[in-house]
Amino acid sequence: MPARTKSMDITVLLHEDHQLVRELFFAFSKAEEDAEKEKLVKQILTELFIHAKVEEEIVYPLLDEEGKDGEEFKGEAENEHKVVKYMMAEIANLESNGDELKSKMTVLCELIEHHVKEEEKEMFEMLRESGQDLAALADEAMERKNELKKEGLPAMKSTLKVGDEVIVGEAEDEESDSPEDDEDASNKQSAKDKKDAGGKLIRAKSVSAPRKLPTQKPKRKSA
């Protein structure tokens, strides 16, 4: 893809990030060798991690200044990021030759596509009408992306938070192993289960996978 220039609009930069991830998902859908799949999974997770960080640190805070619509969009987008990160953490620990990886990558692809369409339709319009210096924001985002690329993808672990209902938890950076990790792993299934008012055990259901990954290479388009 073409090199980014210092005068690039933040919406163009984010759009190119989105398009790159689409192309990587397409490449994964066509990959046959385990080594190639493993490489593509790492690329996808790294790109998503960096992109999400940049949006959360630089872009989303600006939406608070766009009134109720901006605040609502920010809240929804941040919650979608949590679900995406949870899926990323699960995928990071899967074998490249298993059917589960393909299934979860399909789910992740669909989540990303939904998220991207909303951002490019709603958030980009908010940014363009905000009066912000979009070129300066692009410079700031590019600088942060370069810093994150040097740091690399952190080890991640997925967690489930249990309250009145079983809900999806946030993926956490895993800096070091601890005695609690083994206990958490052994109790993972019990954390997914709960009992209803009559004492009957209810199993938490996993997300159903869409039928397939994209089968046609995504076309590039202007933001």
Q: Which residue has the higher pLDDT, 165 or 130?
A: 130
Name the band, by pLDDT with cuts 50, 70 and 90, for residue 194: very low
Residue keyed to tokens 């980009």: 124
194 vs 190: CA distance, rounded Å: 8
213 vs 223: CA distance, rounded Å: 23
Taking alpha carbons only, the member of 185, 154, 145, 149 closest to residue 172 is: 154
Q: Which residue has the higher pLDDT, 210 or 76?
A: 76
Give the model confidence (pLDDT) of 111-146 as tens digits: 999 999 999 999 999 999 999 999 999 999 999 999
> What mean pLDDT, rounded, does the chain reach?
79
Rounded (10°) angle between helices 34-54 and 10-30: 160
Other CB atoms within 10 Å distance of the CB of residue 61 = 11
pTM of the model: 0.72
So what's the pLDDT on residue 39? Answer: 96
**Mean pLDDT of all residues in 41-49:** 96
What percentage of the chain carries pLDDT values higher than 70? 68
Give yes or no for residue 56 having a pLDDT over 60: yes
Q: Which of 26-40, 74-88, 136-150, 172-186 has the weakest average pLDDT?
A: 172-186
Question: Could you tell me if 7 and 135 are in contact, meaning their C-beta atoms sit under 8 angstroms apart?
Answer: yes
Question: Could you tell me if 56 and 78 are in contact, meaning their C-beta atoms sit under 8 angstroms apart?
Answer: yes
- Upper half-sphere CA count for residue 157 (Cβ side, 13 Å): 13
Give yes or no for residue 203 having a pLDDT over 60: no
- What is the distance of C-alpha 142 from the center of its chain? 18
User: Domains of the chain: which residue ranges?
Assistant: 10-153, 157-202
